[in-house]
Amino acid sequence: MTSAAFRPLVDDLRQIFADRLDAIVAYGWQRQGPRPVLALVRTLEADDLDACARRLRGWRKAGLATPLILSTTDFQRSLDAFPIEYGDIIASHELLEGRNPFEGLSIRPEDLRRACEVQVKSHLLHVREDYIEAEGRLPEIEELVRESAPGFVALLRQLARLGGAVAETPSGIAHFAHERMGLDREVLDDLMALTNGDVTTVDAVRLFPKYLKNIERLADAVDRWRTA
C-alpha cells in the first residue's frame, strides 16, 4: 500500500488532533491485508476516540486498518513493556506525517530477550495443548501447524534482531536460526513456506514432531541466551 493510499486516514487524524498530532507511521512486515498505522499524539481524550469512531466506516471502505493511537509519552515509556511489538514498529515503519518519532529510541536487549523467552515458552505450551485437544485428528493437527507457523517465524525474526543479524528475508531468518541456535534447516524452510501461504508442498502433519522438537530447542536456547 503506497503512502498516497493512507491519505484519507492521515487527513482525518490531522483534522481531529490538529497541533496535538506528533506523527503518523505505517508499519509491519506483512504483505497481505491493510498495513497497520500508528498515530502518536500529545494528548488523547474520549472526544478524540468518538471522532475516530465516526470516521471508521470511511477508513474501512478505503481499505485501511483501524489506527493504533497512543500518546507519544506513553509509547516512549512502554518500550520495556512491549519490546517486541514496539520494536517491530520502530524497525519497519514508514513515516506518513510529522517528524520521525523514533529518533534516539531503542529497545534494550535484555527487555527483548525476556519478552522472547515469554513468547517462545507460551508458544510451546499452546502447541502442546492444541495437539492434545486435536485427539489425533489429522485435519486439526495440520491446521495447528499452519496457523502457528507464522508466530514461530515472527519470533525468530525478533531473535535475529537481538543477535545483531540482518535477517528479514525468510532465507536470512532460517540461516540465522540454524547457525545461531541449531534449529533444523529443513524444518525451518517448511515453516517459512507455510508462513508465506504455500500449503501445497508441505506435509504439515508429518512435520509436527520435528516442529515441536525445534520449538523445545528454541526455548532452551533463549533461556540460555545472555545479552551483553
- Spell out the domains of the chain, with CATH numbers in brackets: 3-98 (3.30.460), 109-224 (1.20.120)
pLDDT digits (tens, 9 = 90+) for 148-161: 999 999 999 999 98
* Main-chain phi, psi angles of 169, to 5 degrees: -80, 155
Residue 100's pLDDT band (cuts 50, 70, 90)? very high
CA trace torsion 100, 1, 193, 113 (10° rounding): 20
Mean of the per-residue pLDDT values of the chain? 93
Instruction: Give the model's pLDDT for residue 226.
Output: 81
- Whole-prediction pTM value? 0.83
Secondary structure of residue 54 in the 3-state scheme:
helix
Q: Where are the alpha helices (DSSP H) in 135-203?
A: 138-162, 170-181, 185-195
Q: How far apart are CA 65 and CA 61, in angstroms?
A: 10
Residue 130's pLDDT band (cuts 50, 70, 90)? very high
pLDDT digits (tens, 9 = 90+) for 50-68: 999 999 999 999 999 999 9
Provide the grid cell at 99: 517528524
Q: Is 117 exposed, middle or buried (0-12, 13-18, 19+ CB in 10 A)?
A: middle
**Residues 135, 119 contacting (CB under 8 angstroms):** no
